[in-house]
Amino acid sequence: MPPRTKAPTPSVATATTMKELKDTLWKAADKLRGSMDASQYKDVILGLVFLKYVSDAFAERREAILAECLADGLSAEDAEPLLEDVDEYRSAGVFWVPERARWGYLAQHAKGRVATLDEHEASIGQLVDDAMSHIMGSNPALAGTLPTTFNRDNVDQRRLGELVDLFSSARFTGVGVDGEKVSRARDVLGEVYEYFLGKFAAAEGKRGGEFYTPPGVVRVLVEMLEPYAGRVYDPACGSGGMFVQAEKFLERHGANPQAISVVGQELNERTWRMAKMNLAVHGLTGDLGPRWGDTFARDLHPDLQADYVMANPPFNIKDWARATDDARWTYGVPPAGNANYAWIQHILSKLAPGGSAGVVMANGSMSSNSGGEGEIRAQLVEADLVSCMVALPTQLFRSTGIPVCVWFFAKAKGARAGEVLFIDARNLGHMVDRAERALSEEDIARIAGTYHAWLGTPSAEGVEYADEAGFCYSATLGEIKDAGYALTPGRYVGVPEVEDDGEPIEEKIARLTGELFAQFDESARLEKVVREQLGRVRG
């Protein structure tokens, strides 16, 4: 039989699935790392993906305009003024890309040197920096957002040129995503951008958690809140993952992604820039403020009333901008040594009447009584703002080993007023590798479905809610008060019922005890045999 030949590794030109394409691009991009620190490397790679996206989106819109003109009987020459009309692009949600910022121009000069507008020779890094500056200058919404670090000494210009070549040869259309072939290059680039964010977060460990929340965790929030329309807010938005998943939720349900408007704030400058690019790559227009900033020190959206708030704020911050007279502290002043209840109250202050929120928190927030947190929690419960508490499995976050939960709030709980749903999902999920656990589609559907059945939302029509020992329980405010206002699901859901196998408990104990003693006797016999054999060897 002839020897088996190993299947060739897909190239970016032959990749037919999203996984093949993303993995191949990541391996190629990783060659550029060189002497760059992690944050600059991230800027360079994500900046290239963004540049390819805006250029492809521009080219697609340009082709569409030309096709419309030809269909109307205009010649290609007559259509030229419309092809250069900035408003024809902006009205379609597409950024204007000046000629020397277009990917075709960069690809043409990826390996050589070319004269710039002022007739000086430029490397590919300088050309990319210039392209970023041209795009920001032509699109006010991107001002101050894009990286211009491609021409620094620690960026290998040869490898940068190879990477530009690679992106040029990649097939960003006709790639399989969720069983379907994608026809728009920018849709694939959005997936690539998200994939790279996840890879950077994993590579940076704890620091990666500052800008990235695992998609499974975000999906729990989105599927439970069901943001079909309205204003979606994230006060610690990181790279914008909550907003992207909200848009995907609408696409999965055949709803209009433009039905939501997104508003956010982010403290870290680099992360704020990543979020701006991430929204743009996914075709989302959002208000992330004129610049980055501390949500506690300076709320950039003071008058916002949001229909949905989704957040994964940093846990257990000890040093934060605390003012005891802040109007947001309706239910009590948070302690100076922990900002968890500051985040919760800030979020509640942003909810419109009828609004709802999901907030990822450290498990300690559910039962802590230090610094007055217990009193604040009691006030939140008595105000009937807490709708659901979900305990999540461990190891969902590579960036922290702290067990986490999700608090859900609702300004109006309808028929469930005076009750709180507790879900213990700690036993769900599966290990992706030795360090990380992930939630499956079935896990997410089970958690969200239980919540919607409890609330009686349209998405759970025909499904009756029932308490399930070990998984979910609907508690009254009185029960929660009797438990000292602790909100840990495990205190309420109990333990799973053990299936009755028909054997009386006394008989089972006697049988198992007999089997155990028999094992002890067999162990003693084997030990005696081993000792005898060892004695012979020594003799």
Same domain, residue pair 158 and 228 = no
Same domain, residue pair 527 and 407 = no
Same domain, residue pair 50 and 91 = yes
Same domain, residue pair 62 and 123 = yes
Same domain, residue pair 489 and 508 = no
Whole domain around residue 436: which residue ranges? 211-493
Same domain, residue pair 460 and 530 = no
Is 123 within a domain?
yes
Same domain, residue pair 285 and 407 = yes
What's the structural domain count of the chain? 3
**How buried is 531 (Cβ within 10 angstroms: 0-12 exposed, 13-18 middle, 19+ buried)?**
exposed
- CB-based burial, 183-217: b 16+ in 10 Å, e otherwise: eebbbbbbbbbbbbbbbbbeebeeebbbbbbbbbb
The answer to whether the CB of 239 falls within 8 A of the CB of 225 is no
Is 205 within a domain?
no
Last residue of a domain, one of 137, 163, 192: 192
**How buried is 408 (Cβ within 10 angstroms: 0-12 exposed, 13-18 middle, 19+ buried)?**
buried
User: What is the rounded CA–CA span in Å between residue 258 and residue 250?
Assistant: 9
Same domain, residue pair 37 and 184 = yes
Same domain, residue pair 152 and 256 = no
Degrees (nearest 5) of the Cα angle 484, 486, 491? 105
3-class secondary structure, 278: helix
Taking the model in full, what pTM does it have?
0.83
Contacting residues for 518 by C-beta, under 8 A, at least 6 apart: none
CATH value at residue 46: 1.20.1260.30
pLDDT tens digits for the chain (539 residues)?
455 544 455 566 666 677 888 888 888 888 888 777 777 888 888 999 899 989 988 998 999 999 999 998 988 888 899 999 999 998 888 899 999 999 999 999 887 665 555 556 789 999 999 999 999 999 988 888 999 999 998 888 888 998 898 888 776 766 555 555 655 666 778 888 888 888 888 777 666 667 788 889 999 999 999 999 999 999 999 999 999 999 999 989 999 888 999 999 999 998 999 999 999 888 888 899 999 999 999 999 999 999 999 999 998 999 999 999 999 999 999 999 999 999 999 999 999 999 999 999 999 999 999 999 999 999 999 999 999 999 999 988 877 778 899 999 999 999 999 999 999 999 999 998 887 899 999 999 999 999 999 999 999 988 999 999 999 999 999 999 999 999 999 999 988 765 556 677 777 788 878 888 888 888 888 888 888 887 777 66
Count the neighbouring beta carbons within 10 Å of the beta carbon of residue 512: 10
DSSP code at position 9: P
Same domain, residue pair 318 and 240 = yes
Is 509 within a domain?
yes
Is 459 within a domain?
yes
Is 5 within a domain?
no
Q: Which backbone phi and psi does 440 adopt, to 5 degrees? A: -85, 170
